[in-house]
Amino acid sequence: MSVSFDPKTIKKDFPFFTNRPNLVYLDSAASSQKPQMVTDAITDFYTKDYANIHRGIYDLSEKATAQYEEVRGKVKDFIKARSPKEIIFTSGTTESINLVAQSYARKHLKNGDEIIVTAMEHHANLVPWQVVAKQTGAKLRIWDITDDGTLDSKELNKLLNRQTKLLAITHVSNVLGVINDLKWITQKAHAVNAKVIVDAAQSVPHMGIDVEYLDCDFLAFSTHKMLGPTGVGVLYAKERHLEEMDPWLYGGDMIREVTLTKSTWNDAPWRFEAGTPNIAGVIGLGAAIDYLKNIGMNNIRTHEQYLIQKAIESLGSLPYITIYGPKDIQKRSGVLSFSIDGVHPHDIAQILDEDEIAIRVGHHCAMPLTKRLGVAATARASFYLYNTDEDIERLVNGLEKVYKVFT
Ligand code: C6P
């Protein structure tokens, strides 16, 4: 851990931890806690500046519109997009991916085309492609994982061909923590003219992202996993793709002109944001980005690498624990799935909960991956900037207790 990065000081920015001083929160991959700065930004908006956006010509509404649109610019800078017009606000990663599936893929794919998805996808980046494949007659092709839980580049070479129109891939697996080599993957996909959609739900909160460098066509993430509120997500899309996409939801704010029999659409990105959006949530996202930028994404990544190394070493020293995914911390984020010989994962969570240690167990909304690992469920600890050495020590002590109780 670097001297300048002190998670104990960071924790003080989170009222949640002041209210629950004994809690070890190891479920940030499901959703993160929120710093005071974020909740203040939301409360301030509701109590001082609240009005609807894009509609009123009174001062308050214009200010609310300016605040909302300012966050679009912050997101653009945060992921290094070319233009704020490439940023669409949605309700979360799930909606962002469904938007691409229905507005882009459904329009562009036809019978005989192919969509590649990996075996490590969250359902949010699998089910929409199953549905689009059915709707268009396209074929779903699966890029399987190796036994160490990584993707083998040779397998992709075998799958890609002139029929491949789309490759849907997670940047970081929410079960294995594996970080996929997106730069190489987009180059390969683009060589056959396939588009790449990235599920970045588990990467944007934890590492610096540069969409121009990665050259992905679409990238989706959720605010609630990156210190922001629930109910807000982002879809990044290259501007030229947005120009070709029809809206998915219809109604207020996304139109240019409406007669009783027909309508024309607003420009992108607004034509993809029908109805009153989650204005306060977007403003909360702006504060979350300010907070993360102030800490520094590289510092967060370094701290999580430190924690995952410590966790792999500590849990790995217990002979009854199986850790899933590669041990090389360069290849993984701060997500650690594991099991204990002879103990059901739900029992692990329950015993840990008695000691105020919160982890997630189950299939983590990635049922095909869990099955591929040969288990019905795993236990998962996930780390973020506020986790400390003591959190890992409490986890290890808790797991030793679990094993004693059940054997
Ligand atoms: N994973 C987890 O505990 P939403 O629900 O739309 O904000 O995010 C969905 C999603 C998509 N992709 C990945 C890789 C994810 O990890 C998630 C959410 C949570 O792992 C809840 S299942």
Average pLDDT of each block of 10 consecutive residues along the chain (407 residues)?
A: 78 98 98 98 98 92 96 98 98 98 97 98 98 98 96 96 98 98 98 98 98 98 98 98 95 94 96 97 98 98 97 97 94 97 97 98 97 96 98 98 94
Helix (H) or strand (E) holding 251: none
Q: What was the pLDDT predicted at 56? A: 82
Ligand 1 atom at minimal distance to the Cα of residue 170: 14
Cα torsion through 177, 210, 204, 375, rounded to 10: -20
Best substitution site from 27, 172, 176, 222 to test ligand 1's pocket, by max atoms within 8 Å of Cβ?
222
Q: What was the pLDDT predicted at 5? A: 82
Pair of tokens at residue 91: 């309700």
Pair of tokens at residue 301: 């990544």
Best substitution site from 27, 32, 91, 93 to test ligand 1's pocket, by max atoms within 8 Å of Cβ?
93
Cα atoms in the 13 Å half-sphere on the side-chain side of 195: 16
Is residue 195 within 8 Å of 227, Cβ to Cβ?
no
Task: Report CA(47)–ligand 1 centroid distance (Å).
Answer: 31
Best substitution site from 122, 180, 225 to test ligand 1's pocket, by max atoms within 8 Å of Cβ?
122
CB atoms inside a 10 Å sphere around CB 229:
21
Q: What was the pLDDT predicted at 335? A: 98
CB of 201 shorter than 6 A to ligand 1: yes
C-alpha to C-alpha distance for 163 and 374, rounded to whole angstroms: 32
C-alpha to C-alpha distance for 197 and 28, rounded to whole angstroms: 23
CB of 92 shorter than 6 A to ligand 1: yes
CB of 96 shorter than 6 A to ligand 1: no
Closest CA to 20 of 407, 398, 386: 386
Cα atoms in the 13 Å half-sphere on the side-chain side of 284: 26
C-alpha to C-alpha distance for 167 and 163, rounded to whole angstroms: 11
Helices (H), 248-341: 279-295, 297-316
Pair of tokens at residue 196: 């790449």
Instruction: Find all residues with CB under 8 Å of 397, minimum gap 6, and list them.
Output: none
Task: Report CA(201)–ligand 1 centroid distance (Å).
Answer: 6
CB atoms inside a 10 Å sphere around CB 16:
16
Pair of tokens at residue 112: 């005989």
Q: Is 365 one of the catalytic residues?
A: yes
Q: What was the pLDDT predicted at 407? A: 86
Q: Please give the radius of gyration of the chain, using alpha carbons only, rounded to the nearest integer.
A: 22
CB of 98 shorter than 6 A to ligand 1: no
Task: Give strand ranges (E) for 162-296.
Answer: 164-170, 195-199, 218-222, 233-237, 255-258, 263-265
How far is the first Cα of the chain from the last one, in angstroms, to the nearest whole number?
A: 36
* Strand-strand pairing, 164-170 and 114-118: parallel
C-alpha to C-alpha distance for 93 and 187, rounded to whole angstroms: 24
Pair of tokens at residue 82: 């070319």
C-alpha to C-alpha distance for 218 and 211, rounded to whole angstroms: 9
Only one residue has tokens 């509701």, namely 46
Instruction: Pick the residue whose CA is nearest to atom 16 on ligand 1.
Output: 174
SS3 sequence of 132-158: HHHHHCCEEEEECECCCCCECHHHHHH
Q: What was the pLDDT predicted at 394? A: 98
Active-site annotation holder among 365, 375, 389, 397: 365
CB of 378 shorter than 6 A to ligand 1: no
C-alpha to C-alpha distance for 149 and 370, rounded to whole angstroms: 11
Instruction: Pick the residue whose CA is nearest to atom 3 on ligand 1.
Output: 30
